[in-house]
Structure 1
Amino acid sequence: MSNSLAVATVTATLKNLLMSAFTSNAADPLAGATVTTLNPAERDAKTGANVFLYRVSPNAQMRNLALPSRDDSGMTVTPPQAALDLHYLISFYGDQTVWEPQRLLGVAVRTLNAQPVLSPGIVAQTLASLAASTTTAFMGQSDLASSIERVRLTEAEISLEEMSKLWSILLQTKYALSVLYVASVILLDSPEQGTTALPVLRTNLSIHPMRAVALDEVVGTEPALFGAIVAGSQVELLGTGLGDAQLAVVLDGNRAASSAPVIVSRAEDRLRFVLPSNLLAGAHGVQVASPTPGASGASGASGASGASGAFPSATTLSTVESNPLAFLLRPQMSTIGTNGVAPTSNGRFSGTIRVSVTPLATGAQTVQLLLNPKSPSLAGTPGIVLPLDPSSFGSPPGSSAQLDFPFHDVAGGTYAVRLRVDGAESPPVVLPTSPPSIGPEVAIP
């Protein structure tokens, strides 16, 4: 983690590292070799090397650090960081007749291969020399030497075509013998300060054995409803580890004690409970969880005797919880009737179908009535989807147990009726006819 001078510090350290290697190379002294950090188009042909930062890219592994984390009040907990990779073009110049560029390249590659990491000592040495000059004294404010994340230099390879484009299009200058290196990773701190947690004055650590609790299926227990799950009915959870008397049922993530359903019975592989009667039709989630062991007010009653299984308080943390499962709570129709049915000019009928529904439907839900033809005279007639009359909920929209569905130009006959609320359809009913048929149904007119 470093301040905004980190990028310049990496370039300066790389220059200092190469300059030191050229001047101390006993096997092949290169007297007068210099290292610059210019655009290659501005570099003369004097013996030496040029270090040019030609590209900056986000680091693929750490780019998500750019997002800060905040607490529930919006205060910054962890400030954002910019994670960068620096792409360098190192070019070599000199007398080609005595292979000076190639000799310089050999020294540079050997040095960077032997010292691929910019150590704190090398960085600190570079910054000390820069801080001693009035021109570059500002570099003394760099804190790259104290960064936990070390900068690593890796040789990069590009194709001949990419190299050609780099020199002819990007740099627009004559090619010089070069190598490419990537410096990674440079973390730039945000000036925004994060908050720190209060110190821990006392630890209260305890260890409790964990039991494997898992849910496999949610099933209805009402045979007459063909297994459909409806408000106020008993529901069974099938799974493993459900026999613990501390386990409570959690609906839609609501852990409040007042919202915990009543548990009827429990066994190791199943748990039966009663759904609240005021639960809205549609999709819901269910899981089981236990309160913190030893918490004040924890229930120890046996599930077999009808224990509620409720949490001792709404703020109790859970140490054991199962995977969540989803289920559809289906609406039920108690009465179905027609109002204001009148024939139209083409021999069909218009009017309103009124349905009494349990549980109450609200104006925020999507409600439709589905009609499927049953009469022989309606053979080949497609099913009908009737939209809800919004006035059923009043103004402003509230909730209602009676819903009106207007229809227009509908052929006369008997129709099977289904109610759909937020994607959940009412269960079918077996009518006492001979032979038995599926209902409920409505006759028009």
Structure 2
Amino acid sequence: MSDARAIEAVTETLRNLIDVGVKDVEAGAVAIARPPDRVADTNFDLQVNLFLYQTLLDPTLRNEPPVDAGAGESGEPALPLVLRYLVTAISRDGDDLGAHRMLGGALSALHDHPVLSRADLAAAAPYSNVSQQIDRVRITWQSLEEKDIYSLWSVFQTPYRLSASFEARVVLIDSAQPGHTPLPVLRRGAQDQGPQARADTSSGLALIAAASPPNGKPAAVLGDAVTLLGANLGGNLAPNTPTVRLRHPMLSAPVDVTGAGIVAATDNAITFTVPDQPAAVPAGSWLVSVLPPAHAAPVASVPLLIGPQITSPLPVTIAAAPPRATVTLTCSPQVRRGQSVLLLLGDRAFAAEPVTVTTSTVSFRIDALAAGEYRMRLRVDGVDSPLVDLSSHPPVFDPAYLMTVT
């Protein structure tokens, strides 16, 4: 997930890394980012200049669908950029040895950071969410031939200085165009039975086959009773009970469910309650495992989706004030910085305003939406709020999750 300031953020992160490297070898040196013909305008005697001289598209990712698109959904791919930089060391007194020393410090710093870490990007450029993109930004050295060097410095219209070239790949800028998010299918044909599978659990090893939210829902919500189906889970070792362990990529520590949180436990199935803790249990994709009383480590992991819930009064009615309207909703769990948040209205998707702190309130700018009624879903990190009432036969859309545009 990256916004339009991703290029600026990557350049600033690289400049910071180079600045640390040159100061290690020359205390008075500084790293700057200027066009080569404007370097002389600064007041620094010892400086290393970082210049972005070319941007390219990475063809391998040019047509990749958005990472947060679900099955059957489509959207404009992210813009995958390759950024090529020139690093030039300059000493005003003409001391080439000093320039070589600074260039060595700069290249050493970049060599020690072949991949820009999330921490480096977030610290140097907190205004951008480029640190949250799935693909890492990698540093690769480029070899410039004599004709390339001549062409570059002829364009700069400044005397040639010893330089090195490298590229940063890949920097993704998300499309601002809304995606197409069709409503889920409520019923399939009678003959669409699907495959049948059989597992042999006679080995005696503990395993989890699936995590099943209630009523066949695709995702659980806070407070739901989820059943883990498997074998040899240790649920028959009363009075001790197993521990259900939940892990989320944004949390450094797991969330353990024990004691009263275990609703029922047998050797083949364990039912537990998803902790109703909006600040501690974010929405998204989790890994759930079981720690039986007789084991020292989790014996299995299966995915479990935990979805958001809209806690604002429902249904919602808004006036479509041209050219756009702002909709503010409250939700549970709370949304964290770096999470992808979308409001789906019918087959349209609208991104939330940037989230900078953990909050239960999110705002959306709605534009180009005709008057009418729209089924409403909140999507956080690819997981939707419940829209379909699966306890009904046949399933129906929940009438509360409706937005009326007047």
Q: Shorter-chain TM-score category?
A: 0.3 to 0.5
**Larger radius of gyration between Structure 1 and Structure 2:** 1
Greater RCO, 1 or 2 (C-alpha within 8 Å, sep 6+): 2
- TM-score norm. by structure 1 comes to 0.39
- TM-score norm. by structure 2 comes to 0.42
